[in-house]
Amino acid sequence: MTWAPERISSLQLSRSTPLQLLRSLGSGPRGLVESEAEKRLLRYGENVLPARRVPSLPIIFLRSLRDPFTAVLASLALVSAAVAAWATAAVIAVLVVVSCALRAAGEHRADRSAAGLRELVASTATVLRRSDEEAAPVPREVPVDQVVPGDVVRLAPGDLVPADLRLLRATGLTMHQAALTGESAPVPKYPVDEPSARLSSAEAQPLALDAQDFDRPEVCFQGSSVASGGGTGVVIATGGDTRFARADKLPGNDRRTTAFDRSVYGISWILIRFMLLTPPLVLMANAALRGRGLETLPFAVAVAVGLTPEMLPVIVTTTLARGASALARTHQVIVKRLPALHDLGAVDVVCLDKTGTLTQDRPVLDCALDASGTPDDSVLHWAAVNSLWTVQLAELPSADALDEALLDAAEERFPDGLDALEYDAVTVLPFDPVRRLSTAVVRTPHRFGRHTLVVKGGVEDVLERCALTGDERERAVALADRLAADGLRVLAVALAERPAATRPYTTKDERGLTLQGLVGLRDATAETAADALSALLHRGIAVKVLTGDHPGTAARACRELGLEPGEVVTAASFDGLGDTELGELADRTTVFARCSPEQKARVVRVLRERGHVTGFLGDGVNDLPALRASDVGICPPEAVDVARETADVVLAAKDLTSLDHAIVAGRGCGATIAGYLRITLSSNLGNVIAMLTAGLLLPFLPMLPSQVLVQNLCFDAAQLAFAYDRPQAGALRRPLKLRPREVLATVTGFGVLNAAADLATFAVLVWAVSHTRAETAFHAGWFTENLLTQALVMVLLRTGRGGKVPVTAGILALTGLLLPLSPLGPLIGMTALPPAYYPLLALVLALYAGALHWLTRRTRRTAAP
């Protein structure tokens, strides 16, 4: 039968026997011939995930133009060019290009750094290949991307599964599937002659991710890794056909609007509406009250530009790029999407997966108890004897993780270390996934002709082989249930002394055992997880644990890390709730257990809908929907490739406390951007109000378009200092949310105050200047006053610290005083002012500074939590 790729899904989910499957795939136990493997590679492509190429610099630059504010600035440049205001058009165009270039360079650098993490993924696989049909199969190491359907792959401890496999043979094989399911415990895998008749819903819906498929013992999935044992399997799906790749195609995986979109972009859209309304309003008002026509169009465009914080894209991009660069350099945190750094500063809820983030895929001993529940080191002793000789004599490819944990504990607990376990071993009956226990047979010390069977395994499987009364069995089961409910993996240990057998021992000898006790093991916590959680709580961030693991396991891990779990909620208990009820539950719940990927994403989504800014920290395929549903997707360095591709922030160092550094950096950037917006919009709004009022009262324009342009250029150049300002410590203590309505309410108050100072200056100018040169003197006086008030605003409204802003504000003030007196003054329609003007201007500025200082303190007091 000729193999056809379109039949791959039905093949892997069918009831085919291994032989039927091999025939259908055009393969066999001896593997593929090299020439056939090459043909399949050419025909069906490399074994890689669907293309995720790093976008080129020009592509990222063009994407930056989709920013709404950048697009409006580009439109204003075109309008300015249309009315022959070439200087204005050129300046705006330069700002647009600089902003997009900075943003593109930063994001391209982050994309390349994230792509470099691909080296953490396995690069080769061991396959059986033949040179021709008659040749013997030879194990070969081939690049993972060269693996094709029908290849026979060998698995050894520590290997990452290169593709979806159907097992042909296995010896003590267990797999880590936490990246796919969230379950921290290794899953036993073994071949079966005929799989279950149950057909996955994925056969009808190829993109569905049925969690029950991962329970199939005969299938090993790409993205999982070998915990212990070994095996051989045939490849049934590669590349985009694997379960691993399908998880990335789930419906609803598109990213939603983030906190940056709702804040900075929200303010931008409000300003855009005002900017679009300003030119027609100016034209209509001047036509109605002053009889002016289209000659005021350049002035109207200049007023619209004056309202615009032209430097916003440059300031935002420069601030975020500097913060992202510093994080990558000092803390190995890669920010792939620059606005995500702002969002990190606004995060007030961090949701995270347990396995792979808070805990390691490595068990450690928690307790060893006798049958009555009393701590007893002899139980650990016999459990370690079983582990030692199982590892030594069973000829397994490597020790099971549970055996390693017991041996490590014994080495620490006993004075003689592992020497105390050196019995004279006879044989072992290794663990298999059917009977779920292992037996080591050793010679009984000081009793010639006697052997001791040391049995260790699943509680129910060991108890059914023990000679126990009904009450004793119930007590043992109850003790095991209590330990399991507390989040432990529980093993039972039993002994039996027998006369030395002259025949080989079999599983039939595992009867009439005496129960010694139980050992409980827990997941080892990540080294820096406790410090990371403490830092998050100290920063005023709520932590929610969303895991597919057992409720007791999740609660225990939280307690060990200093996070009070409270009442653990399982997915089954909230699945029927509406979004409103679930949102209320999520606000007061710390741990959600037994969650599917979609349920994790739903919890994140309802938290966002309740006004929270959410971050999600996850490392597996099962975390992809939640990573996309959050405002900021974060992953650790060991995350699977698609999780690193999806995340906005990658913690490249094996140190979760780097997340705290990233949040602090994000808050610093957010504080800088918020301070810039308040200062610039207050000044711009006040100037526009005063300019429009004066334009209607004066027989001439209050400022010429060229003067407005020069003023904007001076102020814009000075504002670049904000990108290098350092925030005050108080701005880093709590999440920083930039709410458009609150910002605009504050800006309106300061803008009206600024307009009052401008209009007071207007009155002074009307009184002070002579009529012969009233127009040019008025222009010069107002130009000087505008730059001086803007310098005051920069100093008094700033929330950061550092010397660059005061120095820049001083230079701006000097420019306002000296430019009208310089040879450049007459070139742009300004003349020297009479001396009487300056004392009156100083009085206006002193009153303005006092009022500004009072309003600033009042606003900050009101805003303080």
Helix, strand, or coil (residue 399): coil
**What residues contact residue 77 under an 8 Å CB cut-off, 6+ apart?**
88, 89, 90, 92, 93, 96
Average pLDDT of span 50-59: 66
Amino acid residing at 80: S
Contact 107, 337 (CB under 8 A): yes
Average pLDDT of span 666-689: 82
Band of residue 206 on the pLDDT scale cut at 50, 70, 90: very low
In sequence order, the β-bridge partners of residue 235 are 165
Q: Looking at the predicted structure, is the pLDDT value of residue 109 above 70? A: no
839 φ/ψ sector (left φ>0, alpha ψ -120 to 50, else beta): alpha
Q: Which of 396-400, 434-438, 738-742 has the lowest mean pLDDT?
A: 396-400
Q: Which of 33-37, 56-60, 746-750 has the lowest mean pLDDT?
A: 56-60
Pairing of β 425-429 and β 437-443: antiparallel
Contact 481, 488 (CB under 8 A): no
Helix, strand, or coil (residue 284): helix
Q: Looking at the predicted structure, is the pLDDT value of residue 14 above 60? A: no
Residues 643 and 120: their CA atoms lie apart, in Å, by: 13
Residues in the chain: 865
pLDDT of residue 336: 83
Percentage of the chain lying above the pLDDT 70 cut: 82
Q: Give, in order, the Cα–Cα distances in Å from 448 to each of 445, 451, 506.
A: 8, 9, 22
pLDDT of residue 516: 95
- Within 10 angstroms of residue 528's Cβ, the number of other Cβ atoms is 17
Band of residue 823 on the pLDDT scale cut at 50, 70, 90: confident
Answer yes or no: 353 catalytic.
yes
Q: Give, in order, the Cα–Cα distances in Å from 421 to each of 383, 399, 424.
A: 10, 16, 9
Q: Of residues 159, 164, 348, 353, which has the active-site annotation?
A: 353
pTM over 0.75: no
Average model confidence (pLDDT) for the chain? 80
Q: To which H or E segment does residue 330 belong?
A: helix 312-331
Band of residue 119 on the pLDDT scale cut at 50, 70, 90: very low
Looking at per-residue pLDDT, the higher value among 158 and 757 belongs to 757
DSSP structural state of residue 355 = B
Contact 624, 336 (CB under 8 A): no
- Retrieve residue 284's tokens: 């209509």
**What residues contact residue 827 under an 8 Å CB cut-off, 6+ apart?**
none
- Retrieve residue 324's tokens: 């992202």
Gap between the terminal Cα atoms of the chain: 73
Helix, strand, or coil (residue 220): strand
Helix, strand, or coil (residue 183): coil
Phi then psi for 592, rounded to 5 degrees? -115, 125
Contact 204, 59 (CB under 8 A): no
Q: What is the largest CA-CA distance in the chain?
A: 127
Angle at alpha carbon of residue 559, lines to 554 and 563, rounded to 5°: 95
**What is the sign, positive or negative, of the torsion defined by CA atoms of 822, 823, 826, 828?**
negative
Band of residue 701 on the pLDDT scale cut at 50, 70, 90: confident
pLDDT of residue 546: 92
Residues 810 and 808: their CA atoms lie apart, in Å, by: 5
Band of residue 249 on the pLDDT scale cut at 50, 70, 90: low
DSSP states of 552-598? HHHHHHHHHTT----S-EEHHHHTTS-HHHHHHHHHH-SEEES--HH
Phi then psi for 364, rounded to 5 degrees? -135, 155
Q: Report the 3 state secondary structure along 443-454.
A: ECCCCCCEEEEE
Angle at alpha carbon of residue 770, lines to 768 and 775, rounded to 5°: 100
Residues 716 and 312: their CA atoms lie apart, in Å, by: 9
pLDDT of residue 248: 56
pLDDT tens sequence across 254-301: 556 777 777 766 777 777 777 777 777 776 766 666 666 666 666 677
- Within 10 angstroms of residue 472's Cβ, the number of other Cβ atoms is 15
DSSP structural state of residue 119 = G
Using CB atoms within 10 A of its CB, is residue 823 exposed (0-12), middle (13-18) or buried (19+)? Answer: exposed
Residues 390 and 393: their CA atoms lie apart, in Å, by: 6
Average pLDDT of span 465-471: 91
Radius of gyration of the chain from its Cα atoms, rounded to whole angstroms: 36
Residues 467 and 513: their CA atoms lie apart, in Å, by: 6
Contact 614, 633 (CB under 8 A): no
pLDDT tens sequence across 68-99: 667 777 777 787 777 676 766 777 777 678 76
Band of residue 13 on the pLDDT scale cut at 50, 70, 90: very low
Amino acid residing at 754: N
Looking at per-residue pLDDT, the higher value among 785 and 419 belongs to 785
Looking at per-residue pLDDT, the higher value among 107 and 414 belongs to 414
Band of residue 122 on the pLDDT scale cut at 50, 70, 90: very low
pLDDT of residue 580: 92
Helix, strand, or coil (residue 288): helix
pLDDT of residue 513: 94
Q: To which H or E segment does residue 682 belong?
A: helix 658-697
Contact 465, 511 (CB under 8 A): yes
For the ranges 205-219, 259-273, 517-531, the maximum mean pLDDT occurs at: 517-531
pLDDT of residue 182: 63
Residues 77 and 96: their CA atoms lie apart, in Å, by: 9
Band of residue 782 on the pLDDT scale cut at 50, 70, 90: confident
